[in-house]
Each structure stands twice: as structure tokens, then as C-alpha cells.
Amino acid sequence: MKMSKILRVLAIFFYCSLSLTSQTHAQENEVESLKEEIRALNQTVQKLSTVVEKQNQRIDELEQKPLPKEQEAVSPKDPAPAITVAETPPAETQSETTRSLGAWKYKAGSGGAWKLLPDISVIGIFSGAYFSQEPEEDIEHDPTRTGFTLQEVEIAFQSVIDPYVRADVFLAVGEEGVELEEAFITTLSLPKGFQVKAGKYLVPFGRQNQKHVERWPFTNNNLPNRFFFSGEGFNELGVEFSYLFPTPFFFQSQFSFTQGDNEGNFDGGRKEDFAYDGRLVGSTDITPNLTALLGGSVAYGFNNTAPGNQTLLLGGDFLLKWKPSRETGIEWQTEYIYRSLQIPGGNQQEGGISTYLLGQWSRRWGAGMRFDYFGFPRADFDAWRISPIASFYPSEFFRLRAQYDYLDESGVEPSHIGILQMIFNMGPHGAHQF
């Protein structure tokens, strides 16, 4: 029994020591493997640290060095972005610095509040002239004496005001001071081809009347416009309604309701003496390079010869323009104006026509000829004038013109006039109507 007890104790001891030994071995193994893992982790962390360090160095280098052009914006060799139907906000609402286009980023133009300034341009028109007989009256904007004339310095401010209207303001600085030539708004968002213009503007009567001095095809105004509208042109305060017909060709109607201030035509003194103007104009491209335009105008109002005396103006104009390239072209325009003026004791009827041909054969050179006749029908006076002109364009923003006028007015000796004109344009490209 004793022996068996001793054996049992020994067996238990042996078992316990064995199990303890195996446990110790297991723990030692575990510790070793943990150590291994820690070493491996340390190595990984060190490797990662090296990578991060290198990346940071690379980023610093890239930040210090200017990017190549291709990488500065979109790298064209990158995969194209997936097309999404996501709402693209209008350009002006996007961030000024970086805009996101799908997966791409690109640098947008830097800028600031100056981008909201209106387009500002200054156009100077100076001339030197010789008159064989000095003119008796001073016609604004035309050279009217031997020597130098400041025809006009035009200062223009043009901008879109909001999503609904744009505004155009033109100041004219002349020898007698500054005057407001035009200041008007034009709607941009009326539906169905309607448009409203309101403010002070050159009334759409014929073609010449709507042009500023720098856009005149010759260095001075044509005879009918000068006689009927004086130097300032038919320029009124008012509102114009126009409509572009949905025809296959250009066909537009304009109607103006104006204050009626034009001297000699619509300067009636009564409060109801407004002036009304209407114009229909159609245009089509006969060939891709040849365009024809036909217009008809009418203006009605009250003059100051006596209360209630009426003035009726009728006009017709025609333009044929062939422009195969920037460097070559020919245009032929003819414009006729008729006036019926109710005066005390009768009705005065008079009319005048102006026709010209202008050609350009190279980027810098052009020439033309104008013929004006006033007195068709004749009142108490008639005149005709022929005017050859040569133009030289050193650049798009600077023009020189030389013109000769032979003027024959009734009751006056014919006169010879030579005019040299210089026009310069500061600021953005001036977009002008056809």
C-alpha cells in the first residue's frame, strides 16, 4: 500500500513536472514568435517611415518647382472622366481657384472683382482738313474748318448687368465739352424674339444714323443725314420695342416711342409732342460671302414751327456686302431720306440720297467713293458732293484715312475739301453691328 502511494506520488510529480516543462516550452515559443512579429513590425514601420519620408521630400520638391504646362491643368493623357449628368453650375458660380471636372482638377483663371468691371474703351477721332471755302456753320463731329478738328473722343462702358439686361453707355468728348451720346439697356431674356431697349439712343432710322462716328464709312457724315438730323443725329430719349420674326431669313421690326427732341424735326413744344419711329429690316445671305440687307424706316412727330405741325420722315436703305475673307471685300450701300415738314402756310418736302462703294484688297489698304445728293425732291436748296477716300490700317486698332470732297451747293461756289483722319481705339475689340 505504501509502495503504491509512493508510486502514485511519483507519478503525480512526474506528470506535473512534465506538464510544467511543456508549458514553459510553449510560453518560450510564444514569446519568441511574438518577438519575431515585433521585429517584423518594426522593420515594416521603418520601411514605411522611409517611404513616407521620401514622399514628403518629393512633395516638397514638386511644390518648390513650377509644374510643366501639361500637368498644371489637366493631363491630357489621363483617363477621361466618367460622364455624369450631374448639374454643372454656371461658370460664374464655380470656384475661382480650382474647378473639379469629374476625376480631373484644373486650374481656372485667377482673377477677382476686376473681372466684373464693364468693358471700357476709348476711341479718338482727330482730323486735319483743308477747305477752299470755309464752311459757315459748325457741324458737330464733321471737320468744319481748315486746320485741325477734334471730331470726337468716345468713351464707352459696356457690360451685362444681370441675367435679364445689358447696358451700353457712350460719352462723347468734343471741342465743346462732354455729352452723353448714348446710354441704354437692352433686354436679353424676353421670350419669343421680343426685345426692349430703353434710355438715350440713336434711333433706328436708316443705317447711317445708327453708327457712331468711328464707324462712319467716310470721314464725315453724308449730306442727307447731316441736313436732316444735324451733327448729333436722330438721338432721342425713349423706349424701343423690337421683334425678330421667326422667318428663315433675318427679318426684324423695331418701334420707338421717344421724347421728340430732335432739332428741326421733332422739337414741338407741347407736352404731348412725342416722336414715333418704326423700322423694318430684312437680310439674307445670297451666297456664303455675299449678304444683302434691305431696310425701310418711318418717323412721325411734331415740329416747332407752330403747335401741332407735323413732321414725317421716310427712309429706305439697301446694302450689298461681299466679304470673302478678312483681307478682301466690297460693300455698296445706298440710303434715301424723305421729309415732309408741315410749316405755317404749307408743307415743305425735301429728300436726299447717299450711295457709296467701299473696297478692301489687302489687310491694310482700302478705298472707296461716295456720292451724295440733296434736293430730291427739292425745297429751296440743293447740293451734291462726290468723295473719294483711301484707308490705311496699320492695325485693327489704328486707322488713317484720306478723303477728298467736291461739294457743289446751290448759291455757293463749288468747294474743294481735303481731310486726313486718324482713329485710334483703346481697350477691347469693339463688336459692332453688321
Binding site for other proteins (CB under 8 A): 69-70, 72-77, 80-81, 83-85, 87-88, 90-92, 99, 101-102, 104, 106, 109, 160, 163, 166, 186-191, 193-195, 244-250, 252, 281, 283-285, 288, 291, 293, 321, 323, 325-327, 362-364, 395-397, 428-434
Nearer to other proteins, 165 or 386 (CB): 165
Cβ-contact 221, 274 below 8 angstroms:
no
Half-sphere exposure of 35 (CA within 13 A, CB side): 6
> Taking the complex as a whole, how short is the minimal distance between the CB of residue 163 and other proteins, in angstroms?
7
Q: How far is CA 170 from CA 225, 428, 434, in A?
A: 20, 15, 19
> Taking the complex as a whole, how short is the minimal distance between the CB of residue 299 and other proteins, in angstroms?
22
> Taking the complex as a whole, how short is the minimal distance between the CB of residue 79 and other proteins, in angstroms?
9
28 DSSP 8-state letter: H
Q: End-to-end alpha-carbon separation of the chain, Å?
A: 132
CA-wise closest residue to 265 among 353, 159, 201, 343: 343
Query: Alpha helices of 209-313 — where are they, by DSSP H?
Result: 223-229
> Taking the complex as a whole, how short is the minimal distance between the CB of residue 193 and other proteins, in angstroms?
5
Half-sphere exposure of 138 (CA within 13 A, CB side): 7
> Taking the complex as a whole, how short is the minimal distance between the CB of residue 209 and other proteins, in angstroms?
18
Cβ-contact 203, 209 below 8 angstroms:
yes
Nearer to other proteins, 84 or 97 (CB): 84
Query: Alpha helices of 137-237 — where are they, by DSSP H?
Result: 223-229
Give the CA radius of gyration of the chain.
41
Give the DSSP H/E element, type plus range, for residue 274: none
> Taking the complex as a whole, how short is the minimal distance between the CB of residue 254 and other proteins, in angstroms?
12
Here the cell at position 120 is 471700357
Q: b/e per residue, 169-192, with b = 16+ CB within 10 A? A: bbbbbbeeeeeebbbbbbeeeeee
> Taking the complex as a whole, how short is the minimal distance between the CB of residue 71 and other proteins, in angstroms?
8
> Taking the complex as a whole, how short is the minimal distance between the CB of residue 282 and other proteins, in angstroms?
8
Tell me whether strands 290-302 and 275-287 are parallel, antiparallel or unpaired: antiparallel
